[in-house]
Amino acid sequence: MARFPKIDTPCPLSAEEQAVIEGHCGHCDKHVHRLDALDEAQRHALLANADGPICVTYRMPKPAPKSHPFSAAIAITLLGAGGAAYAGEPPQDPPPEGLPWVAHPADAAMSPLPDENKAALLDFVVFLGGVDDPRNATDVEDAEAKPMLPMLTPEDALTQTPVEEPLDTVVVLGGGMSRPGEAEGIATGIDDVAADLPMIAPASPDQGEGGR
């Protein structure tokens, strides 16, 4: 499975602006690390050697509705609202001396698209954001090696929804009473808890067939 750090902080840029970042964000004047250009070992080294928040980005092909109905809908909603992210004060470009980070050719490949090619953006979902604590970042795993933002799946929602615990034992008591008006409570013998059976009011002396 591919592993990517959880994105923590939102970004003010639009989806189209995020898609054409060339490794350096002119809006925030910060370096943006493209994680889908690195293998897992390189991503781990990047996070392990960071001494503060960093900005990251990765893109993925837009999921087919049949295979990822929830992911596609949520991703489009997030991007339409301008969701993604930047971190406060990540290492600048170039990174601080002593950190084994190098520029990756894939960063340069993220050049602005001509107007006639902007429709190609519809085939990808771009995630950009800040990782607040890279050394202790939460990993997000994806079985198809396609990064995506962490989200609550329908299965998680079901398992996290509180439900009432079922009763261990159900006891049904029934029968007849010869003198309901004089009935007394009885002990059930279950966990030493006494239960009172419902009482029926006696019929009045003048109540007969005609009084019904």
Residue 59 falls within a domain, yes or no?
A: yes
Which pLDDT score, from 0 to 100, does residue 61 have?
A: 66
Taking the C-alpha atoms of residue 86 and residue 196, their distance in angstroms, rounded to an integer, is: 66
Residue 140 falls within a domain, yes or no?
A: yes
Residue 50 falls within a domain, yes or no?
A: yes
Residue 106 falls within a domain, yes or no?
A: yes
Residue 64 falls within a domain, yes or no?
A: yes
Residue 98 falls within a domain, yes or no?
A: yes
pLDDT tens, position by position, 97-120: 555 555 554 454 444 545 544 444
Residue 128 φ/ψ region, left for φ over 0, alpha for ψ in the -120 to 50 degree band, beta for the rest? beta
Q: Which range has the worst mean pLDDT, 47-56, 167-176, 185-194?
A: 185-194
Residue 206 falls within a domain, yes or no?
A: no
Amino acid making up residue 31: H
- Per the structure, the complete domain to which residue 107 belongs is given by 2-160
Residue 80 falls within a domain, yes or no?
A: yes
Q: From start to end of 96-193, where are the E strands?
A: 124-131, 139-142, 186-187
Quick one: CA torsion of 32, 35, 41, 46, rounded to 10 degrees?
20
Taking the C-alpha atoms of residue 110 and residue 94, their distance in angstroms, rounded to an integer, is: 18
Higher per-residue confidence, 183 vs 149: 183
- Number of structural domains (the chain) is 1
